[in-house]
Structure 1
């Protein structure tokens, strides 16, 4: 038998009898997949691990608390032999052979009629890896190959094109703060499978270079607006490409719902009857301060943090922010899109009771190769932005946590 490789096959066990002999660690590892396959499972074992016992208590398996007996495999389609009794295992193997039941043995693979592959799953695909040479089986090598394939499918580095018609739709993907490694696994995979990617200037640009040449990449800032506002043009582009039957990814920086106008796009797609998948992203409000060594909360320093948009100055009648209340908070204040208005913000906070000496950190191009941190205080931050030529995008952190991290620097006086 060892001279020939195993023939791989996928067993459809729904409603079919599977017998498991032994209730130890091997059964504990194998049973969940058999349960997920819908098998009618009989466990025969005098004892079982607490996890296996819990499966029986939940009604997922039938447990007969006794040793193996001749005839246990008569009605089985598949058997897993995993007891510590070699003689019982041999007798069970012989019974399986007589009844033509495919049989896996945990103690002696050479005497089994089936082997369990190293398996993994990714978005509707099951990966099963078997060693072809029985004499040179290396379970760790087989598992490593399985892991590499599954990881490649999940993060998009291993892509297999779809040859059947896919359901058209849009994926609203948060790209994270800028470092291409900080996009989620699902977001990266959807990018790799896209026909069209509509991105903006805050999306992780390095990811676009990895896309196949067949993918159409559209800079949202360069869409022809005509009679539409910019957001309307983006909404219409998403709808039109999806209606063409294409898989569309709308790639945004950070998280789509944190000052990303993502819900406006979801609403427009819903009104047009286009299915939309939302993939959250790592928000720059937390990740960028962290990358610069600043915790937004810290025991004994800050028990809360507040994220505010600074794109509208406090004295602008369009502002929805209660700046006087923010000035009274003792926690951390994180301001996004606030480089141009930080002078007015600092004046307003000071005017409503915030200490002028409150530390401030500005983190420009956070998590990217161009990241830099500039420290100041509320009193000096406006001048510091000018003299240090701080440019957007930058995350501004106000509060005592600025002084906590190991990379804290002296503020500009």
Structure 2
């Protein structure tokens, strides 16, 4: 046996007897996968870790609180030997050999008849890595290979496209605040598998350069029909490409449902009978202040934060925001899309009771290499925006947390695109 590498195989254990000897840390790590495989698991051990005991209490395994005895492996298909009793391990291993039960030994892999590979999962695929070296096995090396493959598949840096017919559809993907590293791993994977990408101006643009040449990239800001019809045109583009059998990603800045009009697109797709997946994204309302060293909540300072859109002024009849009520809150107010209206917003808050000395921070192009932070107060923010030439996109933070956070010079620096 020592001269030959292991033969890799996938065991189908659903409904079949699996015996685990020992209820310690090894069993705690291995049991979840055996449970997921549907094995009829019998744990034999006088003691178990709290996590293993919880599996027994939940009915996921059968726990016999005793030591191993001859005959415990009768009718077993697979055995995991992981006790601290070397003599019991030897006897159980010998029984497994006699009954032709594939047996893993945690104390002596060279004496086992089976090895547990380093495994990981990504979208219905199990990645299992075994070393081909019989002597000098290096579990850390195989685990590192597993991790690299799984991470690559998840984040889209390792692309393995589907070759069977795929169900056409649309994914509404939240791209995060701008830093390409802040998109979710699922969003990045779907982006790597797309045939068509309809991208927002505020999405992580650096990721578009990584797409294969065959991917059609459509700038949502330049879809025709004019400003008033822009959203309807985007909806139509999503539907048309999906009906052509293509995998379409709608790449949006932040989160699709935080001032992203994602639900409008979802409704349009549903009416057209198009399958749609929604992938949440990191909202700029929280991440951008954090990137500038500002917590939106802090113990003893702010027990709540409110996120509002400032794209229409407080005195505009289209505004749905109750500004007088917001002025009475003591927590943090985060304003998105409000750079050109912040002077009137500040005046309204002060008129309804908020102190004119309330700190304000404006974080322009947060999480990107161009990020900058400008500080002011409610009394001075209107003039500060003009004097400092603050431009969208910028997240505005109003409240005492601005002073709690790190000064701009000490705030964490945005990561650079790799």
Moved more, 257-266 or 373-382: 373-382
Structure 2 Cα separation of the partners of residues 356 and 88 of structure 1: 76
1:369-388 superposed matches below 5 A: 369-388=369-388
For the pair 1:76 / 2:76, whether they are aligned, the reply is yes
| Structure 2: gaps spanning 5 or more residues | 410-418
Q: Which residue is equivalent to 2:350?
A: 350
User: Any idea what SS the aligned residue of 2:187 has?
Assistant: helix
Q: Which residue is equivalent to 1:301?
A: 301
Q: Which residue is equivalent to 1:242?
A: 242
User: Any idea what SS the aligned residue of 1:207 has?
Assistant: helix
Q: Which residue is equivalent to 1:107?
A: 107
Deviations 1:238-259 (A, max 9, x none): 1111112211111110111111
Moved more, 270-279 or 219-228: 219-228
For the pair 1:325 / 2:325, whether they are aligned, the reply is yes
Q: Which residue is equivalent to 1:314?
A: 314
Structure 1 Cα separation of the partners of residues 363 and 68 of structure 2: 67
Structure 2 Cα separation of the partners of residues 316 and 78 of structure 1: 71
> Shift of the alpha carbon at 1:227?
11
**TM-score, length basis structure 1:** 0.94
> Shift of the alpha carbon at 1:43?
2.2
| Structure 1: gaps spanning 5 or more residues | none
Structure 2 Cα separation of the partners of residues 266 and 30 of structure 1: 40
Q: Is contact 1:324-1:352 (8 Å) kept?
A: yes
Q: Which residue is equivalent to 1:335?
A: 335
Moved more, 305-314 or 351-360: 351-360
> Shift of the alpha carbon at 1:24?
2.3
Report the aligned-residue RMSD.
Answer: 1.8
- For the structure 1 residues 66 and 332, does the alpha-carbon distance in structure 2 shift closer, same or farther, using more than 3 Å as the test? closer
Structure 2 Cα separation of the partners of residues 349 and 63 of structure 1: 63
User: Any idea what SS the aligned residue of 2:135 has?
Assistant: helix
> Shift of the alpha carbon at 1:145?
1.4
Q: Is contact 2:373-2:408 (8 Å) kept?
A: no
**TM-score, length basis structure 2:** 0.93
- For the structure 1 residues 136 and 319, does the alpha-carbon distance in structure 2 shift closer, same or farther, using more than 3 Å as the test? same
For the pair 1:407 / 2:397, whether they are aligned, the reply is no
1:65-214 superposed matches below 5 A: 65-214=65-214
Runs of 4 or more above 3 Å deviation: none
- For the structure 1 residues 299 and 71, does the alpha-carbon distance in structure 2 shift closer, same or farther, using more than 3 Å as the test? closer
